[in-house]
Amino acid sequence: MLTGTMNGTTGGDAKRVTDCPTCSGKKKKDQVSCLQCWRLVPEDLQIEIYKLFERERGSQNHLDAIDRGVEAIRERQAEN
């Protein structure tokens, strides 16, 4: 039986859901933002964040790229 929440998580995943840092949405704990906000991050920066996640997860370079992604989201939101 699936016991997930509205965003499609199931069972143990529900404990890993947290607030999006840039809106009132929800995201998985290991994601930068919710999907709606992630779409506001420029594609080249999305690729950079993902590659750094694969190669050096948690490194200063990775964390700096995440910070730039969150800033990009906030800038795009401010435009609207």
Q: Which residues are registered as beta bridge partners of 19?
A: 26
Segments making up each domain of the chain, as ranges: 11-79
Q: Give residue 21's Cα distance to chain centre.
A: 8
Contacts of 53 (CB under 8 A, 6+ apart): 62
Round to whole Å and give the CA distance between 24 and 10.
21
pLDDT score, position 22: 93
Q: Which tens digits make up the pLDDT trace of 30-59?
A: 899 999 999 999 999 999 999 999 999 999
What pLDDT is recorded for position 80? 76
Closest CA to 66 of 26, 36, 15, 21: 21
pTM of the model: 0.75
Asked if residue 75 has pLDDT above 80, the reply is yes
